[in-house]
Amino acid sequence: MGFAKMNEQEINQAKRLGSLYAELAEQGTWFEWFDSIDNGWIKVTPNPTTSNDLSQWRVAEKQDKIIDMSCLVGSDIDCEFYSNVDDEWKISKLTKMHNQGFQYLDSTNSYKSKCRVRQDHWHSWQGGDKCPLPEGLDCKFKFRGLHDAEGYSHSVNSDNSWQHTDSDLDIIAFKVLGIAEGYKYE
């Protein structure tokens, strides 16, 4: 029993399908299928095969993860707030998040549309159960042992480093340098 020989069209279809799967592996996302003009591209569970019209399939673009600021609500960590390009950054504590924006600590209970952890500023850390920062920040740390380290806030340091045990590895301060690759503020 032998295999049927593929014609040129079937070979091209198999090559295109192979390219789609290679792109999927590189992007690390999912397949999308063009449903209609009204619905556009939609995320689908079944994957394309050589029997599909591959012009209606694509690999979804990789999207940055949104930094979840909710862990900072009510914390003692300084944040920076602004609403538009003309606004100056307002430094305060994050008190509430909802569809009006980010509420900060002041006498007027004001809201701003943007919020981020205060950058290029050493934040003192008095110890706690776990990392106080949202995932997705590049930081520099000061340890009780007086040596500095730079890196992503949730992979460089275990939660044990944030707890104070009078060890040289206790984090006593941190500085947010920016956003890690693959992340963005809302």
Question: For the chain, how many structural domains are there in total?
Answer: 2
Residue carrying structure tokens 């994050």: 94
Task: State pTM to two decimals.
Answer: 0.64
Is 2 inside any structural domain? Answer: no
Same domain, yes or no, for 34 and 80?
Answer: no
Tens-digit pLDDT profile for residues 97-142: 988 788 888 777 778 888 999 999 999 988 877 888 998 898 888 8
Same domain, 122 and 174: yes
Strands ordered across the beta sheet of 79-82: 90-92, 79-82, 114-117
User: What is the domain extent for residue 35?
Assistant: 8-59
105 with 162, same domain: the answer is yes
Q: Are residues 54 and 100 in the same domain?
A: no
Model confidence at 149, pLDDT cuts 50, 70, 90, reads low
Residue 132 near residue 162, CB atoms below 8 Å: yes
Structure tokens at 67: 């930094």
Q: Degrees (nearest 5) of the Cα angle 170, 127, 140? A: 55
* pLDDT tens digits along 65-90: 889 999 999 999 999 998 876 678 88
Q: Are 167 and 127 in contact (CB under 8 A)?
A: no
Judge if 124 and 109 occupy the same domain. yes
Residue 176 and residue 152 share a domain: yes
- pLDDT for 151 equals 52
| pLDDT band with cut points at 50, 70 and 90 for residue 158 | low
In a domain, 171, yes or no: yes
**Is the sign of the CA dihedral 171, 175, 180, 185 positive or negative?**
positive
Quick check: 157 pLDDT over 60?
A: no
Q: 1 lies in a domain?
A: no
Q: Which residue has the tokens 């019209």?
A: 53
Residue 93 counted as domain residue:
yes
CB 96 within 8 Å of CB 106: no
Q: Which residues pair with 112 in a beta bridge?
A: 102
Tokens of 133: 């920062």
